[in-house]
Amino acid sequence: MESIQIKTASKQYPVVIGKNAIHELSDFISNECSHVSKILIITDEKVAELHLQTVKSALIKTGKPVLHHVVPEGEHAKTFDVFYECQSYALSQRLNRKSMIIALGGGAVGDLAGFVAATFMRGIPFIQIPTTLLAHDSAVGGKVAINHPLGKNMVGAFHQPEAVFYDLEFLHTLPLQELRSGFAEVIKHSLIADEDFYRWLRLNIVDLTNVTDEQFLIMITKGISIKASIVEKDEKETGIRAYLNFGHTLGHAIEGSMGYGNFTHGESILIGMVYALKLSQKKQDLDFNLNEFIQWVSSLGYQTTIPQQLEKEVLLHLMKTDKKSVHGGATFVLLKQLGSPVLMDMEDSLLLEEMTDLM
């Protein structure tokens, strides 16, 4: 079992990671959140079927009433309608300012349930129980949101959890494609912050269907520590937090144009990372063996080229209107070296040229 303390300007909280981490949950609530009078678990249909009972059983020891509300899977959870239903359920069950919400699921449930907690009666505490590998990224940092028809994550808040309990047991039921989606963010964290970690991943993770608990523990602990150290320095995303966007400028454009849910987030940003690595070699003299990287990730089942049906001009437009874009141009996170990111505005001609190369 590993425990990382996350320190932000507004709060300090633990992330507990390990097999059976869930068994530490009730003691934490009894000791640290003794004032809480009622607990509402928000989870999605699939996770409810697989893991809700385990979590409910783990909460019995708290002696507190535990309710649950099940929402649709994936991005279907992050809608105004579902948000409204959650608020209605919480009100009808007489939750109040002394209540607590538990987000049980992947990043989508975490974002929705966190936003419900951020807004219910002007904000109540919540705990994250991530069940996907991707959620090592989403469960830390305090960003919570739902989608608007005009843009993903456009309505949200910063709301830090009381704690994160990451039980590795839950990852065993995760489909391969979801594992691949989350592992792309692990790769991202290694590339932007820790060359040795990148080497370790490349040498040790050679088959995503066969990752041991010990390997999960290492990659999640490392990934979360990297994200935490960046978020701690820049909680509200004014500066270096932008580095977490490595691979995401093109990645978001691909994910959006393929239709959210058709191509996973991680699969999209993996292509975005290949692109950003190529740009880094051109503009920052990055010394990196890209062929070796492409061989490795291809063997893990990732696509490394831009899907044929997408058009460069459309992708370019999307990259320039990305909400992270600074001056109306396309701002990229590039690498000077592994572990040393920089921000750089890129000219259209080069962006188009390098996309042609990746199609």
Q: Which candidate, 39, 37, 33, 51, places its Cα nearest to that of 117?
A: 39
- Return the range that interacts with ligand NAD (CB under 6 A); candidates 16-24, 99-107, 308-316, 339-347: 99-107
Supply the minimum distance, in Å, between the C-beta of residue 255 and ligand NAD: 9
Give the separation between CA 102 and CA 120, rounded to whole angstroms. 13
DSSP line for 88-125: HHHHHTT--TTEEEEEEESHHHHHHHHHHHHHGGG---
117 sits near ligand NAD (criterion: CB under 6 A): no
Site string for ligand NAD, 226-265 (x = CB under 6 A): ---------------------------------------x
167 sits near ligand NAD (criterion: CB under 6 A): no
- Return the range that interacts with ligand NAD (CB under 6 A); candidates 39-47, 247-255, 274-282, 301-309: 39-47
Which 77-96 positions form the footprint of ligand NAD (CB under 6 A)?
A: 78
Residue 18 β-bridge partners: 167
Q: Which candidate, 138, 92, 115, 98, places its Cα nearest to that of 42?
A: 115
**H or E stretch including 31?**
helix 25-32
Which 278-317 positions form the footprint of ligand NAD (CB under 6 A)?
A: none
Give the separation between CA 342 and CA 333, rounded to whole angstroms. 6
- Return the range that interacts with ligand NAD (CB under 6 A); candidates 26-34, 67-75, 157-165, 319-327: 67-75
- Residue 66: what are its φ and ψ, rounded to 5°? -120, 120
Q: Is 330 helix (H, G, I), strand (E, B) or coil?
A: strand
Supply the minimum distance, in Å, between the C-beta of residue 142 and ligand NAD: 8
8 sits near ligand NAD (criterion: CB under 6 A): no
Please, which residue, 181 or 354, has the CB nearer to ligand NAD?
181
Binding residue for ligand NAD (CB under 6 A) from 119, 128, 131, 249? 131
274 sits near ligand NAD (criterion: CB under 6 A): no
Those residues whose C-beta lies under 8 Å from the C-beta of residue 25, and which sit 6 or more positions away, are 55, 58, 59, 127, 129, 165
- Return the range that interacts with ligand NAD (CB under 6 A); candidates 40-48, 79-87, 158-166, 310-318: 40-48
Q: Which amino acid is at 258?
A: M
- Return the range that interacts with ligand NAD (CB under 6 A); candidates 21-29, 103-111, 186-194, 213-221: 103-111
Q: Which candidate, 123, 103, 99, 122, places its Cα nearest to that of 112?
A: 103
What are 297's two structure tokens? Answer: 């990730």
Binding residue for ligand NAD (CB under 6 A) from 138, 160, 190, 331? 138
Question: Max alpha carbon distance in the chain (Å)?
Answer: 63
Supply the minimum distance, in Å, between the C-beta of residue 175 and ligand NAD: 6
Binding residue for ligand NAD (CB under 6 A) from 64, 69, 143, 222? 143
Please, which residue, 65 or 151, has the CB nearer to ligand NAD?
151
Please, which residue, 113 or 355, has the CB nearer to ligand NAD?
113
Give the separation between CA 79 and CA 270, rounded to whole angstroms. 26
